[in-house]
Amino acid sequence: MTDQTPVLELRGASKAFGPVQALRGVDFRVHRGEVVGLVGDNGAGKSTLVKAIAGIHTLDEGEILWEGRPVSITHPNDAVELGIATVYQDLALCDNLDVVENLFLGREQRAGGIGTITRHLDETWMEKRTHELLEHFAVTIVNVRSEVGTLSGGQRQQVAIARSLLGEPKVVLLDEPTAALGVRQTAQVLELIKRLREEGHGVVVISHNLENVFEVADRIFVLRLGQVAGDFPADEATIDQVVAAITGAAARGENGDRAGGER
Amino acid sequence: MSAEETAAAAPARPENPALAFVRRFVAGDLGELRVIVGLIVIWAIFQIQEDRFLSSTNLTNLVLQITAIGLVSVGVVLVLLLGEIDLSVGAVSGLCAAIMAVLTVKEGWSPYVAIAAAILAGTAIGLFQGFVFTRFGVPSFVVTLAGLLAWQGAHLEVLGSTGTINVTDSVITGLTSTFYEGATGWVIALVAFGAYAAGVLLGRRQRVKAGLPVRNIGSVVLRLGGAGVIAATAVLTDDRGVPLALLILVGFVAFFQYVTTRTRFGRHIFAVGGNAEAARRAGIPVTRVRVVVFAIASSMAAIGGIMAASRLLAVNQSSGGGDFLLLAIAGPVIAGTSLFGGRGSVLTALLGALVIGSISNGMDLLALESSVKFMVTGAVLLAAVVIDAIARRERQAEGRV
């Protein structure tokens, strides 16, 4: 894809929770304009890896490089300040608020006046900005003033992703963005992810759905028992290869003794 | 999202438009309309029974009767928006009124200083309750229930052995006995409404300039509101004039309506009430929002208590007791503020107080027993919370949680 310095790189990342070694010496990187599909079985360390990048967990060992510079991420704010946005599976939207209100939650734009009370919200600006943002990423929501609780799962996911983009991040982490979505809604979310790539964002997508991963990812990164079990360019790999890496069948032979595979 | 998606989300069965209207009406999608229709029905029933009900004298009395409870309800609304409850507002209003009475009558303080001290006492109580609630994670229900008992005790303690303190200071009694007659009343009403209308129209122009859609409902509301203000002023000036008490009530309602809908703090109240975890992750200082809201609720309770003392010309052991607390909570709920948090408006404090006050006033006029009054008020409250629960279920059925 690109041979520049990765925007984000982890070297030798390790993390243990008590006796459980969640990550063992994982090397991971994302470039600008690249979508990395992060796959693996339950407990393979996907979430731990993403949470380490997002600043929720601190690595025991290993190095994090941001645009080639070593950085430390020990708090979610560190990640946000670097330009890493995370969209968790539960989305964290307020269903009683509308799309505009949710997008700008916690960073409301204010206009005029002096002091807290007279500085009222600049609803016009926020609504306009919402339209621009949604339009830019080809997200269609008929009424940006409808409560988020009334939207479909796909639209909610799109709103959550759009919100993460307000801070103009360079890397976006998406945790199971297509779980529990219908076919059409999944397609919309995947379309949005492709837009993010075109915009030059580095995107990391955790997903159990290999079909979706193959559709959207440039590179497929497989974790198994906390270790790197495979790193395939998406256009060269086959689903069988990836499944073999996930289940551990690949470790036994180049040609894939698939007897151990579950699918 | 395309028509297909909308169709897929909506129920497949074609719906009778009349039925759909009733459903939206019950679900509260039509905003405050439900309450206004309810109020008209209540007024019509009482007017048929007793033709003094809609007289200008009685309506002026009604306004004076609802001031104290309406002010307390303003604070209650904010707490309800958080998804919490404050059971101490009645006791706090009694205690703070007693503090004011003792300071002016027994200690000879200036009424202004005494009023300020009483309100500050309320603020301090709210800060304390908010602190206990947020710091120790004790449910607000329990914290304020303990407060209800404790502040009631403090109320008796402050009043002392006499049990009743008569308030004669003209500044304090003037709060509920000052009226702006004739032209003065009209000027106040029209200036206030003019300011509101200007605000609405300016906001509209801004939206048009930004190329955003403008809701037509705005001009309807503006016209109805204008008609309402003119009618109310005409009725009030026909009697004693526009009461200062009403201006105080409307002033607080307008201020907090603005704060909740137009400021960052207000937005954060709704966010915390809707999904506290999401609010926290969005960087909203959840604890601070909660503590400040509890402080406002207790301060508004103190202000309500002061108005009640002004109208009664005394503070006694039952000030802020009896059904005062429950009615202050029932009012906003009847008018559409959800007990489950995140939905409602400060306007419901005013509308709810009007509904409850009208029922109470009308039944007094018909000289009904207080046994009947309690049962009717209870039935109205039950109906309101059932409607709230149904509305919530409707939203869940539509996947709106």
With CB atoms and an 8 Å threshold, state whether A152 touches B9. yes
A146 is a domain residue:
yes
pLDDT at B25: 56
Band (pLDDT 50/70/90 cuts) for residue B22 is low
Band (pLDDT 50/70/90 cuts) for residue B53 is very high
With CB atoms and an 8 Å threshold, state whether A92 touches B277. yes
Question: What does the alpha-carbon distance between residue A109 and residue A105 come to, in Å, rounded to a whole number?
Answer: 10
Average pLDDT of span B84-105: 96
Q: How near does any CA of chain A get to the CA of B60, in Å?
A: 32
Q: How near does any CA of chain A get to the CA of B165, in Å?
A: 37
pLDDT at A99: 94
Band (pLDDT 50/70/90 cuts) for residue B205 is confident
With CB atoms and an 8 Å threshold, state whether B263 touches A155. no
Q: Is B24 on the interface with A (CB under 8 A)?
A: no
pLDDT at B16: 64
Split into its structural domains, chain B has a count of 1
B210 is a domain residue:
no
CATH code where residue B153 lies = 1.10.3470
Q: Is B267 on the interface with A (CB under 8 A)?
A: yes
- CB burial of B66-77 (b: ≥16 within 10 Å; e: otherwise) equals bbbbbbbbbbbb
Give pLDDT tens digits for B276-314: 989 988 889 999 999 999 999 999 999 999 999 999 999
B254 is a domain residue:
yes
Question: What does the alpha-carbon distance between residue A100 and residue A159 come to, in Å, rounded to a whole number?
Answer: 9
Query: What residues of chain B lie within 8 A of the CB of A109, using their CB?
Result: none
Of B212, B264, B274, the CB nearest to A96: B274
Split into its structural domains, chain A has a count of 1
pLDDT at B3 over 50: no
DSSP A153-204: HHHHHHHHHHHHHTT--SEEEEESTTTT--HHHHHHHHHHHHHHHHTT-EEE
With CB atoms and an 8 Å threshold, state whether A128 touches B270. no
Of A94, A116, A155, the CB nearest to B265: A116
Q: How near does any CA of chain A get to the CA of B311, in Å?
A: 31
Of A120, A128, A147, the CB nearest to B210: A128
Give pLDDT tens digits for A180-217: 788 888 898 899 999 999 989 999 999 988 999 999 99
Residues 174-233 of B with CB under 8 A from A: 203, 206-207, 210-212
Q: How near does any CA of chain A get to the CA of B4, in Å?
A: 11
Structural domain containing residue B338: 15-181+240-397
pLDDT at B376: 87
A198 is a domain residue:
yes
State CA B106 to chain mean position distance: 32
A72 is a domain residue:
yes
Please tell me whether residue B198 adopts helix, strand or coil conformation.
Answer: helix
Per-chain mean pLDDT for chain A: 86
B245 is a domain residue:
yes
**Residue A160: other Cβ atoms inside 10 A:** 22
> And the tokens for A76?
């979610």
pLDDT at A41 over 80: yes
Band (pLDDT 50/70/90 cuts) for residue B202 is confident
Q: How near does any CA of chain B get to the CA of A94, in Å?
A: 5
A3 is a domain residue:
no
Give pLDDT tens digits for A101-160: 999 998 888 887 666 666 888 888 999 999 998 888 878 887 898 899 888 888 898 899
Q: Is B396 on the interface with A (CB under 8 A)?
A: no
Q: Is B401 on the interface with A (CB under 8 A)?
A: yes
Query: What residues of chain B lie within 8 A of the CB of A152, using their CB?
Result: 1, 5, 9
Average pLDDT of span B201-221: 79
Give pLDDT tens digits for B336-387: 898 889 999 999 999 999 999 999 999 999 999 888 888 888 888 788 778 7
B167 is a domain residue:
yes
Average pLDDT of span B11-17: 52
pLDDT at B161: 84
Of B6, B210, B395, the CB nearest to A124: B210
Structural domain containing residue A254: 8-260
Question: What does the alpha-carbon distance between residue A89 and residue A35 come to, in Å, rounded to a whole number?
Answer: 18
pLDDT at B62: 95
pLDDT at A245 over 50: yes
Average pLDDT of span A9-31: 92
Query: What residues of chain B lie within 8 A of the CB of A123, using their CB?
Result: 203
**B324-334 vs B347-365: helix axis angle to the nearest 10?**
120
Average pLDDT of span B147-153: 95
A169 is a domain residue:
yes
pLDDT at B217: 64
pLDDT at B365: 92
Query: What residues of chain B lie within 8 A of the CB of A128, using their CB?
Result: 210-212
pLDDT at B199: 84
pLDDT at B11: 42
A36 is a domain residue:
yes
With CB atoms and an 8 Å threshold, state whether B207 touches A149. no
Contact A229, A40 (CB under 8 A): yes
- Counting one residue from chain A and one from chain B, the pairs whose CB atoms sit within 8 A come to 95
A119 is a domain residue:
yes
Sheet hosting strand A61-66, strand order edge to edge: A20-30, A8-17, A61-66, A69-71
Residue bearing tokens 């609780």 = A149
Give pLDDT tens digits for B223-244: 888 888 999 999 998 999 999 9
CATH code where residue A74 lies = 3.40.50.300
B67 is a domain residue:
yes
B215 is a domain residue:
no
Query: What residues of chain B lie within 8 A of the CB of A142, using their CB?
Result: 1, 6
Of B1, B212, B270, the CB nearest to A97: B270
pTM, entire model: 0.86
